[in-house]
């Protein structure tokens, strides 16, 4: 079952299929759903796979349980998107002792012994954070506000996740150059629209003069936009609060087009095909890289239209 939906896999001659156990961290966001779909689209029976997909509902202990299950089921490969970076040494050592290759996807693990995983597929979230900072520098210069006192609030993703760590670090590295940028508050909305709205409500109550919202994923951004609408605070292209978001899922690009989101820093969820390519190489005994970083873009009202037609997520 994944998100309560029976994953249809016809009865099959399992022995000639490559059995892949996937521990997906949750279904918290539009980005995550696109990420899961890209894995399902790549690891099909026709492509030679028997896919076992587990949704951990953003809880590390559920991922560890799922991985242990894959080990006892003797799957051929384990793929997992770690909800946070820490706490994986033990279960990864169990997988290594069972001689099951582990492919890490999307977020990263913080382990001393890199032999505990075969490869990592993901995005450069620190660069994403820097892209947001560099965009803000250009934007403020363009608006003639480069030396104005600027008040910033940040909706962070799941604390300790690669996406949160990278985006926070990358943006702060740019912000440090600007004494007139003031980060009033950074709080986690756990990458969900609900929490994003609640936390934004709270920050609006505490700070009258917010100039910039940096929201580390589109779902929290949409929650924050609802909070600003209900509070009667203007936002976006002509509003009091400039909105910087991450992920660039289709629904958010619609808001970029409307001028409600000023800029959306893409995080590319289409990573399933990389798993297929890597497994095929491993099956042939060929070497693979230790990491694969997927391409991504930055979207504003000026460029978003030309990308939207063939967008798959």
Q: Does residue number 195 form part of the binding site for ligand GZL (CB under 6 A)?
A: no
Kindly state the smallest distance separating residue 122's Cβ from ligand GZL, in Å: 6
Q: Which is nearer to ligand GZL, 242 or 268 (CB)?
A: 268
List the one residue from 24, 29, 119, 242 that touches ligand GZL (CB under 6 A).
29
| Binding segment toward ligand GZL, per CB under 6 A, in 28-36, 93-101, 230-238, 272-280 | 28-36
Among 32, 131, 195, 197, interactor with ligand GZL by CB under 6 A: 32
Question: Is 40:53 a contact under the CB 8 Å cutoff?
Answer: yes
Choice from 105, 107, 132, 150 touching ligand GZL (CB under 6 A): 107
**Does position 38 bind ligand GZL by CB under 6 A?**
no
- Site residues for ligand GZL, 46-105, by CB under 6 A, read none
Q: Which of 165, 81, 106, 131 is nearest to 246 (CA)?
A: 131
> Which one among 246, 260, 274, 299 touches ligand GZL, defined by CB under 6 A?
246
Contacts of 83 (CB under 8 A, 6+ apart): 25, 26, 56, 58, 59, 60, 63, 107, 158, 161
What letter does residue 148 receive in the DSSP assignment?
Answer: S
Choosing from 20, 92, 152, 163, the residue that interacts with ligand GZL (CB under 6 A) is 163
Looking at the Cβ atoms of 32 and 260, the one nearer to ligand GZL is 32
- Cβ atoms of 70 and 78 closer than 8 Å: yes
Residue 241 burial (10 A CB sphere; 0-12, 13-18, 19+): buried
Pick one of 191, 260, 274, 299: the residue that binds ligand GZL (CB under 6 A). Answer: 191
Look at residue 27 and give its three-state secondary structure. coil
214 binds ligand GZL (CB under 6 A): no
Ordered DSSP codes for 82-112? -SSSSS-HHHHHHHHHTT--EEEEES----S
Nearest to 253 by CA among 214, 212, 301: 301
- Crossing angle of the two packed helices 250-258 and 30-42, in degrees rounded to 10: 140
Count of residues that interact with ligand GZL, criterion CB under 6 A: 16
What is the spatial distance between Cα 219 and Cα 224, in angstroms, rounded to a whole number?
9
Among positions 21, 22, 28, 204, the unique one binding ligand GZL when judged by CB under 6 A: 28
130/211 with CB nearer ligand GZL: 130
Q: How far apart are CA 124 and CA 106, in angstroms?
A: 10
Helix (H) or strand (E) holding 22: strand 18-24
Output the smallest distance, CB 284 to ligand GZL, in A: 29
Please count the residues of the chain: 313
For residue 120, state whether it binds ligand GZL (rule: CB under 6 A). no
With contact defined as beta carbons under 8 Å apart, do 246 and 132 qualify? yes
Residue 20 Cβ vs ligand GZL, minimum distance, rounded to whole Å: 20
Q: Does 267 bind ligand GZL (CB under 6 A)?
A: yes
> Residue 30 or residue 140: which is nearer to ligand GZL going by CB?
30
Q: Can residue 266 be called a binding residue for ligand GZL (CB under 6 A)? A: no
Note the residues at the interface with ligand GZL (CB under 6 A): 28-29, 31-32, 106-107, 123, 125, 157, 163, 191, 217, 219, 246-247, 267
């Amino acid at each position: 079952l994944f998100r309560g939906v029976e994953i249809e896999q016809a009865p099959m001659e399992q022995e000639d299929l490559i059995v892949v156990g996937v521990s997906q961290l949750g279904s918290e966001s539009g980005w995550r759903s696109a990420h899961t779909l890209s894995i399902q689209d790549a690891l099909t029976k026709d492509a030679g796979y028997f896919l076992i997909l587990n949704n951990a509902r953003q809880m590390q202990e559920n991922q560890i349980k799922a991985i242990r299950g894959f080990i006892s089921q003797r799957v051929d490969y384990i793929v997992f998107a770690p909800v946070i970076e820490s706490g994986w040494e033990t279960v990864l050592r169990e997988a290594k002792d069972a001689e099951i290759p582990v492919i890490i996807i999307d977020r990263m693990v913080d382990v001393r012994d890199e032999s505990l995983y075969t490869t990592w597929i993901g995005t450069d979230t620190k660069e994403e954070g820097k892209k947001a900072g560099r965009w803000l520098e250009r934007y403020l210069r363009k608006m003639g506000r480069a030396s104005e006192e600027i008040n910033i609030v940040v909706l962070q993703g799941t604390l300790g996740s690669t996406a949160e760590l990278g985006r926070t670090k990358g943006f702060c590295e740019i912000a440090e150059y600007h004494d007139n940028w003031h980060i009033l508050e950074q709080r986690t909305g756990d990458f969900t629209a609900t929490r994003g709205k609640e936390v934004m409500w709270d920050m609006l109550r505490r700070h009258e003069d917010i100039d910039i919202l940096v929201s580390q994923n589109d779902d929290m951004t949409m929650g924050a936009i609802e909070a600003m609408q209900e509070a009667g605070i203007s936002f976006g292209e002509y509003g009091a609060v400039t909105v910087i978001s991450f992920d660039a899922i289709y629904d958010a690009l619609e808001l970029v087009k409307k001028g409600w989101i000023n800029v959306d820093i893409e995080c590319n969820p289409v990573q399933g095909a990389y798993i297929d390519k890597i497994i095929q190489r491993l099956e042939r005994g060929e070497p693979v890289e230790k990491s694969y970083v997927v391409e991504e873009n930055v979207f504003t009202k000026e460029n978003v239209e030309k990308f939207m037609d063939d967008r798959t997520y």
